[in-house]
Chains A and B, each alone.
Chain A
Amino acid sequence: MENLLNIFIKSIFVDNMIFAFFLGMCSFLAVSKSVKTALGLGVAVIFVLLITVPVNFLMEKYLLRKGALIWLGEGFSDVDLSFLTFMVFIATIAAMTQLVEMVVEKFSPALYNSLGIFLPLIAVNCAILGASLFMQEREYENVLEATVFGVGSGIGWMLAIVSIAAIREKLRYSNVPDPLKGLGITFILTGLMAIAFMGFMGIKL
Chain B
Amino acid sequence: MDNHEKEPIFSARNLKLLTEPFGNNNPITVQVLGICSALAVTVKLKPAIVMALSVTIVTAVSNLVIAAIRQYIPDRIRIIVQLVVIATMVILVDQFLKAFVFDVSKQLSVFVGLIITNCILMGRLEAFAMANKPWPSFLDGIGNGAGYGMILVIVSFFRELLGSGTIYGFPVFEKLGIYHTGYENNGMVILPPMALIFVGLIIWFQRSRNKSLIEK
A70 interface residue per 8 A CB criterion: no
A86: B residues at CB distance < 8 A: 87, 90-91, 94, 113, 116
Bound form: Cα–Cα A120–B196 in Å: 26
The 5 closest A-B pairs by CB, nearest first: A187-B200, A191-B196, A182-B215, A179-B207, A194-B193
Would A191 and B122 be within 8 Å (CB), given that A134-B110, A179-B207 are in contact?
no
Q: Which of A29, A124, A177, A195 is within 8 Å of B117, CB to CB?
A: A124
B118: A residues at CB distance < 8 A: 126
In the complex the two chains form, is A85's CB within 8 Å of B113's CB? yes
Would A182 and B91 be within 8 Å (CB), given that A90-B83, A130-B114 are in contact?
no
A25 interface residue per 8 A CB criterion: yes
B131 interface residue per 8 A CB criterion: no
B36 interface residue per 8 A CB criterion: yes
Query: Residues of B within 8 Å of A, CB-based: how many?
Result: 49
Q: Is the interface of B mostly helix, strand, loop or mixed?
A: helix
Q: Which of B35, B91, B110, B214 is within 8 Å of A178, CB to CB?
A: B214
Bound form: Cα–Cα A94–B192 in Å: 29
B203 interface residue per 8 A CB criterion: yes
Interface bits B1-39 vs A (CB < 8 Å: 1, else 0) = 000000000000000000000000000010011111101
In the complex the two chains form, is B87's CB within 8 Å of A124's CB? no
B117: A residues at CB distance < 8 A: 90, 124-126, 128-130
In the complex the two chains form, is A29's CB within 8 Å of B32's CB? yes
B122: A residues at CB distance < 8 A: 121, 124
In the complex the two chains form, is A198's CB within 8 Å of B193's CB? yes
Bound form: Cα–Cα A195–B50 in Å: 27
In the complex the two chains form, is B203's CB within 8 Å of A184's CB? yes
Q: Is the interface of A mostly helix, strand, loop or mixed?
A: helix
In the complex the two chains form, is A137's CB within 8 Å of B110's CB? yes
Pairs across A and B, CB under 8 Å, 6 listed: A21-B40, A22-B37, A86-B94, A90-B83, A124-B83, A178-B207
Would A182 and B113 be within 8 Å (CB), given that A26-B35, A187-B196 are in contact?
no
Extra A-B contacts (4), CB below 8 Å, given A84-B91, A198-B191: A26-B35, A86-B94, A123-B79, A184-B200
A58 interface residue per 8 A CB criterion: no
Bound form: Cα–Cα A123–B80 in Å: 10
B34: A residues at CB distance < 8 A: 26
| Residues of B78-137 whose CB lies within 8 A of A | 79-80, 83-84, 87-88, 90-91, 94-95, 109-110, 113-114, 116-119, 121-122
Expressed in whole angstroms, the minimum distance between the Cβ of A100 and any Cβ of chain B is 14
Bound form: Cα–Cα A121–B117 in Å: 9
In the complex the two chains form, is B114's CB within 8 Å of A120's CB? no
In the complex the two chains form, is B200's CB within 8 Å of A25's CB? no
Expressed in whole angstroms, the minimum distance between the Cβ of A28 and any Cβ of chain B is 8
Expressed in whole angstroms, the minimum distance between the Cβ of B95 and any Cβ of chain A is 7
Bound form: Cα–Cα A179–B215 in Å: 8
Bound form: Cα–Cα A18–B141 in Å: 27
Which of B40, B90, B113, B195 has its CB near the most chain A CB atoms (within 10 A)? B113
B95: A residues at CB distance < 8 A: 83
A180 interface residue per 8 A CB criterion: yes
| Residues of B160-216 whose CB lies within 8 A of A | 191-197, 199-201, 203-208, 211, 214-216
In the complex the two chains form, is B193's CB within 8 Å of A126's CB? no
| Residues of A90-104 whose CB lies within 8 A of B | 90-91, 94
Expressed in whole angstroms, the minimum distance between the Cβ of A17 and any Cβ of chain B is 10
| Residues of A1-46 whose CB lies within 8 A of B | 19-26, 29-30
Which of A84, A87, A187 has its CB near the most chain B CB atoms (within 10 A)? A187
In the complex the two chains form, is A185's CB within 8 Å of B200's CB? yes
In the complex the two chains form, is A133's CB within 8 Å of B114's CB? yes
Bound form: Cα–Cα A121–B123 in Å: 10
In the complex the two chains form, is B83's CB within 8 Å of A94's CB? yes
